[in-house]
Each structure stands twice: as C-alpha cells, then as structure tokens.
Amino acid sequence: MKIAILGGGGRMGQMIARDIIADPRGAQLVASVDHAQSPLLGRDIGEVLGLGATGVALTADRDAAFDKADVLIDFTAPPASAEHAALAAQHGKALVVGTTGLSPEQEAALKKAAEKTAILYAANMSVGVNVLLSVVAQVAKMLDDQYDIEVFEAHHRHKVDAPSGTALALARAAAAGRGVKLDEVMVPARHGYTGPRKPGDIGMSVFRGGDVVGDHTVTFAGTGERIELAHKASDRSLFAKGAVTAARFLAGKPPGLYGMKDALGLS
C-alpha cells in the first residue's frame, strides 16, 4: 500500500512518516507534501527525522502525491482538507482526514467527495477516545437532565482551534444519547452574569497551555454525586499510529464516509 502525507512537515505529519518508515507492515511512504512556504521543502523526510535518507523529499506538489499514492493522510488545515477531499474524488484515491476545526460547509465537502471515493474522517484516532465516545452516549441515554453534562478539554499552547474536535465529538455523543441536537443545547463559554444553568444544557470548558498532549473529561453532575469519564493522552504518537491504521483499513474500500469506529471494528 502506497501512502502519501498531506501536511508532512507538521508535527503529526512527521510522526506519521516516522511510524511508516520505522514499521512499514506492508505500507510504503511515497510522498510527503507541505505548504509552499515550508522551510523543509526539498529535504528528505527520513533525514529530517534523523532516520537516514528514504528517497522521499518534502514537496508542495499535491497532484503528484495523489498520482503516486493509494491512500493519502491529511493533517493540514480545514480549508486545505476540503480541497484535498475534492482532489481525492477527482483522482479516485482514498483519503484519511484527521484535521479538526472543520466548518459545516467543509464537512459537507468531505461528504460530497465520499460519494465518489472512500473518505475516513475522525476528530481523534485513538482507540481509547473512540471507546469513550460510545460510553458517553450510553451514559447520557441512561441519565435524564437532572444530571448536568460538562465537557472539559485541555491541550498544548500551540493548538489553534477550540473547542477541540474530540471535545465536540464527545458533546455530540452526549447529545445523541439524550436524543437532542447539540447546537440547541451547547454552551461553549460562560462569562459575566449568566443566570442559573438550564436543564439539559451541555457545557464546554477549554484550557490551553504548556505541552498538554490532550485531556478530555465528560462529567455528569447530579445532586450529591458526579460521574466522570476521562481520557488522557500522554504520547502524541498514538494518533499517528491510529492514522496509519485508518489508512490500512481504507485501502480498497468502496466510496463512502467512514469513521474510526469502522477502522477499529467498534461500529
């Protein structure tokens, strides 16, 4: 299986390349693409990672990457991910999208592309988070609105979107368990004189600082008790491994929009 990385010069892109180079398991890295202003353009990705030359240099040529690869892995920015989905449909290539912060319009672009090719879109590619999503939905279904739901997430100072894609996915899971639409009950921030909390609200709290890889906690707060469901990531490489697992799953799949639950057999 031939894999190309979109966003290859970024943190996640480099980690995905490292995972493929160190343990191919039937996968071959054939291209690594970054934006035109990247200082790493022209350099061999293996040498960037301190692993020795691989023959794969970082370029800005997206079309060449789509020509070479069977599956492409995208960790870029929302506008670029939407463009890459259209290119995937045009070239008939499978695409794994791990970019977070997509707007409804950009998510719609992924769904449209999935009519012509296989697209896997996930806010988080770890096994633990995807198990947590299922558990949160089940607990929300079991508890009525006498239990207030609050989602807390913490990430490093460099993260540019908030709330995180994983936090939003957890909030959606809780809303689905309750049988409500998230956009009708979500309270993304509180400031000033807010008045008492309304029954059924799903609150969101965000922390940014230091080098936190990713912490997520969903609290169900009742009278006299709290239930807390949490996932804490201590090594960012687990997301890279999840992305490669997703690529292996997606290779050869028919057109459609898939998720990590499909790739991990949790559906």
pLDDT of residue 23: 81
Domain holding 205, by residue range, is 127-233
250 and 192 together in one domain:
no
Q: How many domains does the chain have?
A: 2
107 and 171 together in one domain:
no
68 and 147 together in one domain:
no
217 and 252 together in one domain:
no
Bridge-based pairing state of the strands 28-33 and 2-6 = parallel
166 and 224 together in one domain:
yes
Q: The domain that contains 184 carries what CATH number?
A: 3.30.360.10
At 81, the amino acid letter reads S
113 and 244 together in one domain:
yes
pLDDT of residue 175: 98
- Return the closest-CA partner of residue 4 out of 64, 51, 50: 64
11 and 116 together in one domain:
yes
Residuewise pLDDT in 10s, the chain (267 residues)? 999 999 999 999 999 999 999 888 889 999 999 999 999 999 999 999 999 999 999 999 999 999 999 999 999 999 999 999 999 999 999 999 999 889 999 999 999 999 999 999 998 888 899 999 999 999 999 999 999 999 999 999 999 889 998 999 999 999 999 999 999 999 998 899 999 999 999 999 999 999 999 999 999 999 999 999 999 999 888 889 999 999 999 999 999 999 998 998 887
117 and 228 together in one domain:
no
- Peptide bond between residue 104 and the one before it cis (omega within 30 degrees of 0): no
253 and 212 together in one domain:
no
- Return the closest-CA partner of residue 261 out of 126, 82, 98: 126
87 and 132 together in one domain:
no
Residue owning tokens 């993260």 = 159
Q: The domain that contains 101 carries what CATH number?
A: 3.40.50.720
Q: Which strands, in side-by-side order, build the sheet including 186-187?
A: 186-187, 202-208, 148-155, 214-222, 225-233
133 and 171 together in one domain:
yes
73 and 103 together in one domain:
yes
pLDDT of residue 215: 97
Catalytic site residues? Answer: 155, 159
